[in-house]
């Protein structure tokens, strides 16, 4: 029986790294060969117990089989001195294993290890008994969603050749990088062993990366270079009427979703593989367009939602593109929809109503029922924000309304003196509001009390700002302004020739944003702007907010193209020149 190559443990998590040095066996999983599985009978698989401790402790281990087809484990108990190893022999009953798999049982089972470290000098043990497992795999994979056997898809060499899609329930699958078991695209941890990380990249399932819209990520390298990964379509359509008007893209699970409409109003929801750009499923037809500039879909809990200008609210299975529900709301939706949590159980939809006012719909994200409908002073045309159980909505009357997301009751309302083309941003218990009058307000999220206010510019703020905890990054018609989040002092302006209306993102202090001149600009922390990517010279504009996930920057332009750009080291893309070429100003 071949033993797997020593399993690698992701180093991203320090908890996993600690466990790696303590894990009492090697490798972490063994697989029965396909020939033995087919012929039946009893076969032995082996792994080693190891005591890597350098603290002089004795490792004491008790072993027990975790399935009936593991016919025996020898020895059943062992004590290893520092640096010692001992081979364990696992007897696998292939006939019983085949019977279990045929009946829909799991093709993997643990040999359980109950272990503790004993110290000779005082007889104490370190932290008591702990549990670990070495997995024994039959050369059969099962779908983590419908639990059917994927046997037909396993390669002749016995490798866990995981099909891209389950042929029975159409769940999207990817193999666990540690043990090879098939996992749903939705999963972050392996279905077989929750210490295996199958997907580490944070999602960007809605405007600004999360319901508070702060548009910033601390993880990753401080990078501001961009290289093209893919685009859809691959080149901008020459004829204006063939161009798709995209709403803001969102990213989760390794996919990108965005709504787009033709000049005739033919509208669809699209989803692509974030890595390759391959379509995930047939574009899902929408009754009318999602508003392109500030509208946008959202992803959470395996669902994608979108709301159209005429009030259709749709919910689609993220991995299959199939309809989950569709309702018609009495109003017009211009802002993006926002789920209130990772589970996607609640959805916020801002709507302008025919009486010239507006309302915030609080919906059941799973079933599409309207739970509460909170009236607003004026019509909203940007996304609501959500944090700590409360929703925050801007409307065109200049009001910021705070709504209890459980009851739909208005908690407080504050006047900001002018209307908004931006969503509120919540961070550290404060709400940031930027008005079309060039004023930024910082308010206490709990009470609505003003913390500070600053007139930054005479130009309107035309997009949702980013907030990295230290600075607020404000897109305006005369450039990108940086204001201190704590004190409300203006600290820097990056002037631009054309207005900035797309939401900026901040990656480890490095700024990235699209402009209405069609270019993407970046500024490493503390440095000036550099042009990083051009979407075209024929009046192409970037207005919709971008998404950042899976090492990519995803942004739509008015030339009809959705771009997937890979974030790379700045130096690799923009070599220094003595001409200062590529500068924005
Ligand atoms: Zn399935
Ligand atoms: Zn795994």
pLDDT at 582: 37
Tell how far the Cα of 188 is from the centroid of ligand 1, in angstroms. 18
Tokens of 238: 């020459």
According to the model, what pLDDT value does residue 181 have? 83
Q: What is the DSSP string of 35-78?
A: HHHHH-SEEEEEEEEE---SSSPEEEEEEEESSTTEEEEE-SEE
Q: Are 544 and 256 in contact (CB under 8 A)?
A: no
Q: How far is the CA of 191 from the centre of ligand 2 (A)?
A: 7
Name the closest ligand to CA 141: 1
Return mean pLDDT, the chain: 88
Assess whether pLDDT exceeds 70 at residue 404: yes
How much distance in Å is there from the Cα of 170 to the middle of ligand 1? 6
- Residue 32's pLDDT is 86
CB 60 within 8 A of CB 49: no
How many angstroms separate the alpha carbon of residue 9 from the centre of ligand 1? 27
> Helix, strand, coil shares of the chain as percentages rounded to 5?
5, 40, 50
pLDDT at 142: 82
Q: How many CB atoms lie under 10 A from the CB of residue 430?
A: 20
Q: Ligand 2 centre and the CA of 136: distance in Å?
A: 12
Indicate whether 19 pLDDT > 90.
Answer: no
Confidence of residue 585 (pLDDT cuts 50, 70, 90): very low
* CA of 336 relative to ligand 2 center, distance in Å: 36
Does pLDDT of 433 surpass 50?
yes
Question: What's the rounded mean pLDDT across residues 408-420?
Answer: 97
> Over the stretch 233-285, which tens digit does the pLDDT of each residue have?
999 988 888 899 999 999 999 999 999 999 998 999 999 999 999 999 999 99
Ligand 1: distance of its center to the CA of 172 in Å?
Answer: 9
| pLDDT digit string, tens, across residues 445-469 | 999 999 999 999 999 999 999 999 9
The residue-averaged pLDDT of 352-376 equals 96
Q: Which two tokens stand for residue 436?
A: 């079309």
Ligand lying closest to the C-alpha of residue 177: 2
191 CA distance to ligand 1 centroid (A)? 13
Rounded to an integer, the average pLDDT of 44-49 is: 93
Q: For the ranges 118-127, 186-195, 346-355, 551-560, which has the lowest average pLDDT?
A: 118-127
Expressed in angstroms and rounded, the spacing between residue 186 Cα and the centre of ligand 1 is 13
Is 542 exposed, middle or buried, given 0-12, 13-18 or 19+ CB atoms closer than 10 A? buried
Taking the C-alpha atoms of residue 148 and residue 272, their distance in angstroms, rounded to an integer, is 26
- For residue 255, give the nearest of 278, 273, 241 by alpha carbon: 273
Residue 524 has a pLDDT of 87
- What is the 276 CA–ligand 1 centroid distance (Å)? 23
Strand pairing of 505-507 and 216-217? parallel
Instruction: List the structure tokens of 478.
Output: 């005369």
Is residue 466 within 8 A of residue 441, CB to CB? The reply is no
C-alpha of residue 196 to centroid of ligand 2, in Å: 5
Taking the C-alpha atoms of residue 417 and residue 441, their distance in angstroms, rounded to an integer, is 10
Question: Ligand 1: distance of its center to the CA of 14 in Å?
Answer: 33
Q: How far is the CA of 328 from the centre of ligand 1 (A)?
A: 32
Quote the pLDDT of residue 407.
Answer: 97
Q: What is the pLDDT of residue 33?
A: 82
- For 34, the enclosing helix (H) or strand (E) is helix 34-39
* pLDDT tens per residue across span 294-325: 999 999 999 999 999 999 999 999 999 999 99
Ligand nearest to the backbone CA of 191: 2
**pLDDT at residue 583 tops 70:** no
The half-sphere exposure of 402 on its side-chain side, counting CA atoms within 13 A, is 23
547 contacts 492 by C-beta, under 8 angstroms: no
Rounded-to-integer distance, Cα 108 and Cα 37, Å: 13
**How close is the Cα of 253 to the center of ligand 1, in Å?**
17
Between the alpha carbon of residue 255 and those of residues 251, 317, 321, 394, 554, the distances in Å are 6, 12, 12, 30, 11
Between the CA of 198 and the centroid of ligand 2 the distance, in Å, is 7
Q: Best-predicted range by mean pLDDT among 95-109, 188-202, 505-519?
A: 505-519
Q: Which ligand is nearest to the CA of 173?
A: 1
pLDDT band with cut points at 50, 70 and 90 for residue 125:
low
Confidence bin at 126 (pLDDT 50/70/90): low
What three-state secondary structure class fits 563? strand
SS3 103: coil
Beta carbons of 214 and 426 less than 8 angstroms apart: yes
| Ligand nearest the Cα atom of residue 167 | 1
Give distance in angstroms: CA of 197 to centre of ligand 2.
Answer: 7
Cα(166) to centroid(ligand 1), Å: 5
**Which pLDDT score is estimated for 122?**
61
Q: Which two tokens stand for residue 461?
A: 């703020």
Question: How far is it, in rounded angstroms, from Cα 314 to Cα 335?
Answer: 15
Q: How far is the CA of 426 from the centre of ligand 1 (A)?
A: 39
Structure tokens at 93: 């009953």
Residue 135 C-alpha to ligand 2 middle, in angstroms? 9
Ligand nearest to the CA of 197: 2
Ligand nearest to the CA of 108: 2
468 versus 12: the higher-pLDDT residue is 468
Rounded distance from Cα 105 to ligand 1 centre (Å): 14
**DSSP structural state of residue 573:** H
| Ligand lying nearest the CA atom of residue 168 | 1
In this prediction, what percent of the chain has a pLDDT beyond 70?
A: 89
pLDDT of residue 8: 35
| pLDDT confidence bin for 220, thresholds 50/70/90 | low
Query: How many angstroms separate the alpha carbon of residue 83 from the centre of ligand 2?
Result: 27
Reported as a pLDDT band with limits 50, 70 and 90, residue 5 is very low
DSSP class of 349: E
Pick the ligand that lies closest to the CA of residue 165.
1
How much distance in Å is there from the Cα of 87 to the middle of ligand 1?
36
Task: Kindly give the distance from the C-alpha atom of residue 158 to the centroid of ligand 1, in angstroms, as a whole number.
Answer: 20
* Beta pairing, strands 552-556 & 547-549: antiparallel
User: How many A from CA of 169 to the centre of ligand 1?
Assistant: 4
Rg (C-alpha) for the chain, rounded Å, is 27
Cα–ligand 2 centroid distance for 183 (angstroms): 8
Has residue 16 got a pLDDT over 80? no
In this predicted structure, what is the pLDDT of residue 52? Answer: 79
> Is the confidence at residue 22, as pLDDT, over 90?
no
* Dist. CA 180 → ligand 2 center (Å): 6
Q: Do you find a cis peptide bond into 220, omega within 30 degrees of 0?
A: no
User: Residue 153 pLDDT > 50, yes or no?
Assistant: no
CA of 281 to the centre of ligand 1 (A): 17
Ligand in closest contact with the CA of 149: 1
pLDDT at residue 331 is higher than 90: yes
The Cα–Cα gap between 404 and 103 comes to 49
Lowest mean pLDDT among 173-187, 390-404, 523-537, 566-580: 566-580
What pLDDT sits at residue 332?
98
Say what percent of the chain tops pLDDT 90.
69
Q: What is the mean pLDDT of residues 324-328?
A: 98
Distance CA 383, CA 42 (A): 61
Residue 581 above 90 pLDDT? Answer: no
Q: What are phi and psi of 14, to 5 degrees?
A: -70, -30
Q: Is the bond leading into 394 cis (omega within 30 degrees of zero)?
A: no
């Amino acid at each position: 029986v071949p033993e797997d190559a020593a399993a690698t443990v992701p180093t991203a998590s320090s908890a996993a790294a600690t466990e790696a040095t303590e894990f009492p066996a090697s490798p972490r999983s063994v697989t029965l060969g396909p020939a033995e599985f087919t012929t039946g009978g009893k076969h032995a698989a082996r792994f080693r117990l190891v005591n890597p401790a350098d603290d002089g402790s004795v490792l004491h281990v008790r072993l027990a089989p975790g399935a009936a087809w593991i016919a025996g484990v020898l020895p059943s108990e062992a004590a290893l001195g520092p640096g010692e190893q001992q081979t364990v022999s696992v007897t696998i009953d292939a006939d019983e294993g085949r019977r279990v798999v045929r009946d829909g049982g799991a093709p993997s089972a643990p040999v359980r290890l109950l272990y503790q470290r004993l110290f000779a000098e005082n007889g104490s043990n370190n932290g008591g008994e702990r549990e670990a497992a070495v997995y024994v795999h039959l050369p059969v994979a099962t779908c983590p969603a419908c639990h059917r056997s994927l046997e037909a898809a396993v390669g002749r060499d016995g490798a866990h050749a995981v099909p891209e899609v389950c042929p029975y329930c159409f769940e999207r699958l990817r193999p666990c990088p540690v043990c090879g078991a098939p996992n749903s695209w939705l999963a972050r941890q392996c279905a077989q062993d929750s210490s295996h990380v199958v997907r580490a990249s944070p999602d960007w399932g809605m405007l600004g990366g999360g319901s508070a819209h702060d548009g910033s990520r601390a993880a990753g390298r401080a990078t501001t270079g961009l290289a093209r990964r893919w685009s859809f379509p691959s080149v901008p359509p020459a004829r204006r009427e063939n161009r798709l008007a995209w709403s803001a893209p969102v990213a989760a699970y390794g996919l990108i979703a965005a709504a787009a409409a033709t000049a005739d109003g033919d509208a669809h929801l699209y989803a692509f593989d974030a890595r390759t750009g391959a379509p995930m499923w047939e574009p899902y037809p929408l009754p009318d367009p999602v508003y392109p500039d500030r509208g946008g879909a959202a992803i959470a809990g395996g669902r994608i939602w979108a709301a159209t200008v005429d009030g259709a609210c749709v919910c689609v299975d993220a991995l299959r593109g199939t309809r989950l529900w569709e309702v018609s709301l009495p109003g017009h939706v211009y802002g993006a929809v926002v789920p209130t949590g990772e589970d996607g159980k609640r959805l916020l939809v801002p709507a302008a109503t025919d009486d010239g006012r507006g309302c915030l719909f609080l919906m059941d994200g799973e079933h599409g029922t309207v739970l509460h409908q909170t009236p607003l002073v004026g019509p909203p045309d940007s996304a609501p924000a959500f944090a700590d159980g409360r929703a925050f909505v801007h409307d065109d009357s200049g009001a910021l309304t705070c709504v209890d997301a459980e009851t739909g009751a208005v908690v407080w309302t504050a006047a900001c003196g002018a209307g908004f083309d931006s969503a509120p941003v919540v961070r550290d218990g404060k709400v940031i509001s930027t008005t079309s009058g060039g004023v930024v307000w910082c308010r206490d999220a709990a009470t609505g009390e003003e913390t500070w206010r600053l007139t930054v510019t005479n130009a309107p703020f035309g997009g949702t700002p980013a907030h990295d905890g230290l600075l607020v990054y404000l897109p305006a018609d005369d450039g990108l302004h940086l204001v201190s989040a704590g004190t409300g002092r203006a600290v820097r302006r990056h002037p631009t020739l054309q207005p900035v209306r797309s939401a900026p993102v901040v990656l480890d202090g490095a700024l990235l944003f699209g402009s209405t001149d069609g270019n993407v600009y970046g500024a490493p922390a503390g440095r000036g702007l550099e042009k990083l990517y051009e979407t075209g010279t024929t009046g192409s504009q970037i207005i919709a907010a971008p998404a950042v996930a899976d090492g990519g920057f995803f942004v739509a332009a008015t030339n009809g193209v959705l771009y997937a750009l890979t974030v790379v080291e700045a130096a690799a893309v923009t070599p220094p020149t003595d001409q200062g070429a590529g500068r924005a100003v």
